[in-house]
Amino acid sequence: MSSLLFKPGKITREYISGKRMTYANPFRFFLSAAIIYAFVFGFTRDFSDLDLAMEDQNFINIVNSNDSRERDSIFAEKDEKPLKEASTLLASNLKKRDFITLKNPKKTFDSINNMPSSLNRFIYKAGLFERGINNKYFFTYQKALDTLQIDSSFENKLSFNVAHSIVRIERQPGTFVNTLISRVPFMIFFFLPVFAVFIWLLYLRRNFTYMDHLVFSFHTQTTFIILITIAFIIDNIAELSAISIALILFLLYLYKAMRNFYQQGRFKTIVKFTILNSFFFILAVIAITILFLASAITY
């Protein structure tokens, strides 16, 4: 680890030159660092104070519960009454649009299904499910099907899952942020092969293979994960803003690693360093967007 942190680029050059017994496999090393990162983050960072006040905890527990009987027990009394009467009881708590929807759910869903745009259908269905969950009318997918008198389908299932996740995010934003940040290294892991392709194009005239660039990417990003992990620990102990310092150190490290590994002059390295980081920023935005959507759907 000392060679990785204090001799930028050296470990990569030696690894691709054949000295592989001396160093750990870069892919496994990255995953090990990612696991340690997630472990340290779980103990040193907590955004749960962003969650709603404890008076909403009962609702949150019901939404998060895996026990469908617990989540649907709130409707035991309503289930004994006809749907029309239940809709009347809820009219005071629902918007007019919601009330009409619940009064004639089959007709509403038929009109949604007739929309030509699948995106519009998805948005309308997710919105309907979200309102139903927020108004405590149903919490499980099966209960939503029964209450709204609709058939099960992939689109309906996906819409409900997204709506369910949105409700949880709205009421537990801090917990969602915790989940999102803890998954960042694993998203980096899956995007590094794409990043390595760009580096390969950037150094196309140099005598390096794609795998050489990939190893370089894993080594530098492992350093990034280690620096952020150390920053988490320092912040937790000394209550300092060490994250910004870690980011600056990583940029300096990356520049030095590029110079040592690719052995080009300062000007060329600075130009390629700028281009590389610009592309990495774009790729990071795409990765974070995908991670956010994936986390929202599976949250």
| pLDDT of the residue at 89 | 42
| pLDDT of the residue at 295 | 63
Return the percentage of the chain with pLDDT > 70, whole number: 78
| pLDDT of the residue at 56 | 52
Q: What is the pLDDT of residues 27-51, one digit of tens each?
A: 889 999 999 998 888 887 766 666 6
In this structure, the answer to whether residues 126 and 66 fall within a common structural domain is yes
Per-residue pLDDT, averaged over 67-81, amounts to 46
Last residue of one domain, picked from the residues 151, 171, 191: 171
In this structure, the answer to whether residues 180 and 165 fall within a common structural domain is no
| pLDDT of the residue at 296 | 61
In this structure, the answer to whether residues 195 and 160 fall within a common structural domain is no
Of 140, 153, 73, the closest CA to residue 113 belongs to: 153
Q: What is the pLDDT of residues 122-153, one digit of tens each?
A: 888 888 888 888 877 788 888 888 888 888 88
| pLDDT of the residue at 130 | 85
| pLDDT of the residue at 82 | 42
Whole-model pTM: value is 0.68
Whether the per-residue pLDDT at 294 is higher than 60: the answer is yes
Query: Of residues 172 and 103, which shows the higher confidence score?
Result: 172
In this structure, the answer to whether residues 120 and 234 fall within a common structural domain is no
Whether the per-residue pLDDT at 65 is higher than 80: the answer is no
In this structure, the answer to whether residues 141 and 217 fall within a common structural domain is no
In this structure, the answer to whether residues 158 and 239 fall within a common structural domain is no
| pLDDT of the residue at 148 | 80
Q: What is the distance between the alpha carbons of residues 254 and 272, in angstroms, rounded to a whole number?
A: 11
Last residue of one domain, picked from the residues 153, 171, 189: 171
**Window from 161-170, 213-222, 247-256 with minimum mean pLDDT:** 161-170
Last residue of one domain, picked from the residues 144, 171, 198: 171
Quickly state the pLDDT bin for 289 (edges 50, 70, 90).
confident
Share the mean pLDDT of the chain: 78
Q: What is the pLDDT of residues 75-110, one digit of tens each?
A: 444 444 444 444 444 444 444 455 445 566 677 777
Q: What is the distance between the alpha carbons of residues 11 and 135, in angstroms, rounded to a whole number?
A: 58
**Window from 47-61, 110-124, 168-182 with minimum mean pLDDT:** 47-61
* Residue span of the structural domain in which 143 resides: 53-171
Quickly state the pLDDT bin for 227 (edges 50, 70, 90).
very high
| pLDDT of the residue at 179 | 76
Whether the per-residue pLDDT at 60 is higher than 90: the answer is no
In this structure, the answer to whether residues 188 and 225 fall within a common structural domain is yes
